Amino acid sequence: MAEKNTGKAVAEITPRDVDFAKWYTDVVKKTDLVDYSSVKGCMIIRPYGYAIWENIQKTLDTMFKETGHQNVMMPMFIPESLLNKEKDHVEGFAPEVAWVTHGGSERLAERLCVRPTSETLFCEHYANIIRSYRDLPKLYNQWCSVVRWEKTTRPFLRSREFLWQEGHTMHATAEDAQKETLQMLDVYANFCEKYLAIPVVKGRKTDKEKFAGANATYTIEALMHDGKALQSGTSHNFGDGFARAFDITYLDKDNQLKYCHQTSWGMSTRIIGGIIMTHGDDNGLVLPPAIAPTQVIVVPIAQFKEGVLEAAEEVRARLAKVVRTGIDTSDNSPGWKFAEYEMRGVPIRLEIGPKDIENGQCVLVRRDTGAKTFVPLENVEKAVQELLEDITKNMYEKALERRESMTHVAHNIEEMCEISETKPGFIKAMWCGDLECEEKLKEVADVTSRCMPFDAENVGDTCVCCGKKADKLVFWGKAY
């Protein structure tokens, strides 16, 4: 696995609680997830980082197909006139798109933007291919990269080009579109909680925070270790706004021409940043088993002794049939290897040495807790699979506990300011629904609304800002 001992050691990672931002950058660089390129603000995703994305992609893609979606490829360019077709949408995206003006040595008659998102392209296509109610729903998705010309960038979290998937669907009725919007939010939430061990709050965005051109945006919000929120996946209901702008109609059973109802939903490589910032620690990455490129790393102990390498290779080969298994037979010391795979977040380290072989056992060390167990070699497959499940469960519970302990309640603006200044995390508070109050909270308490959760409780009945009657619970916080 490791190609050479470059002498790097865990000590080189800034401690997480000393400087979280520096810790994050150290981790993504030192574990070879990304590299920078001469293209400012764009990242190179290296093999270890890309393998994580491939695992995410494989699982999500299966979930999309199980819910009836099909993949397509749209062009990466959008003619300026097409982008301009929906007013709110172009206002939201135009300031941050990259423009192609020349093809070869010729100036183009019309500028093309590199897609920041593909609603307009899908709408144009749907207008072409949808005729009757029998054509609906259309449930398309695409895996691709998109470009947004951001001023400041950070690997995975904010980058001028990033990988994502974007689902774009068309439905006969408003109810169908709403059902799809919420179904895909559930897919994202299940994926985060079950596979990534990241607890999320499901809810709706306020109008201020919703997607450019959407009627309603739904979100899953996760809390990072430093108490900042990460919007981890979004699902939008567009109503028939784009359909009217692009004239996407269908002939219904009753022989009436009607507008289609539309959704879109996306999850991106950003979620890799979320994995790092939810689970990582001072020793580096802690990867959820479902997406870890290597789930078990076999480390032979005293490998120069007779029979050790053979026994290690034998257990590797057996495990490789059920989980993603690696082995490190390099001449680096066991201690170096322990630190290396800890840093890379491999969920289980399997040690096997002369004594273990004698006793017909091996040692399993879990990355999340550091706990060691001795396991008979004869049922190592079962032990490893059970341990991986337990690791996922424990990682989820630990993250959930932390989120709960970092979720606070504010009843008035003074409390809001105090909590915002002194206690990192989510702040639950009631809101009257006025944009003015939302803006004031940003200005005075430095928080934005993260979401109006589905599982809403009442923590009061007056707006945290203006004191007027309020029935909307909002999660507030600072966000990536």
What's the closest the beta carbon of residue 391 comes to a second copy, in angstroms?
A: 25
Which residue bears the tokens 């049939």? 321
CA gap 285, 33 in Å, rounded: 10
Does the footprint of a second copy cover residue 333 (CB under 8 A)? Answer: no
Q: How far apart are CA 29 and CA 106, in angstroms?
A: 40
List the interface residues with a second copy, window 43-102 (CB under 8 A).
Answer: 43-47, 50-51, 53-54, 70-79, 82, 94-102
SS3 state of residue 392: helix
Cα gap 51→171, rounded to integer Å: 35
Residue 39 contacts a second copy per CB under 8 A: yes
Q: Should residue 381 be labelled a site residue for a second copy when binding is judged by CB under 8 A?
A: no
**Does position 360 bind a second copy by CB under 8 A?**
no
Based on CB atoms, which residue is closest to a second copy, 2 or 479?
2
**Which range touches a second copy (CB under 8 A), out of 14-22, 41-49, 182-190, 472-480?**
41-49
Task: Report if residue 38 touches a second copy, rule: CB under 8 A.
Answer: yes
The smaller minimum CB distance to a second copy, of residues 140 and 480, is found at 140
Binding of a second copy by 317 (CB under 8 A): no
The CA-based dihedral angle spanning residues 88, 240, 116, 196, taken in that order and rounded to the nearest 10 degrees: 120
Q: Which positions from 4 through 23 interact with a second copy, judged by CB under 8 A?
A: 4
- Ranges of beta strands (E only) in 247-333 are 249-251, 257-259, 261-268, 296-300, 325-327
Q: What is the DSSP letter of 15?
A: P
CB of 24 to a second copy, least distance (A): 20
CB atoms within 10 A of CB 477: 26
> Binding mask 131-160 vs a second copy (x if CB under 8 A, - otherwise)?
-x-xx----x---xx-x-x----------x
Phi, psi of 196 (to 5 degrees): -100, -5
C-alpha 101/C-alpha 81 separation (Å) is 14
| Measured CA distances, 59 to 104, 141, 277, 295, 347 (Å) | 40, 14, 21, 16, 18
Q: How many residues bind a second copy (CB under 8 A)?
A: 57
- CB under 8 A: which stretch of 35-43, 179-187, 405-413, 432-440 binds a second copy? 35-43
Which residues form the interface with a second copy (CB under 8 A)? 3-4, 35, 37-39, 42-47, 50-51, 53-54, 70-79, 82, 94-105, 112, 114, 121, 124-125, 128-129, 132, 134-135, 140, 144-145, 147, 149, 160-161, 163
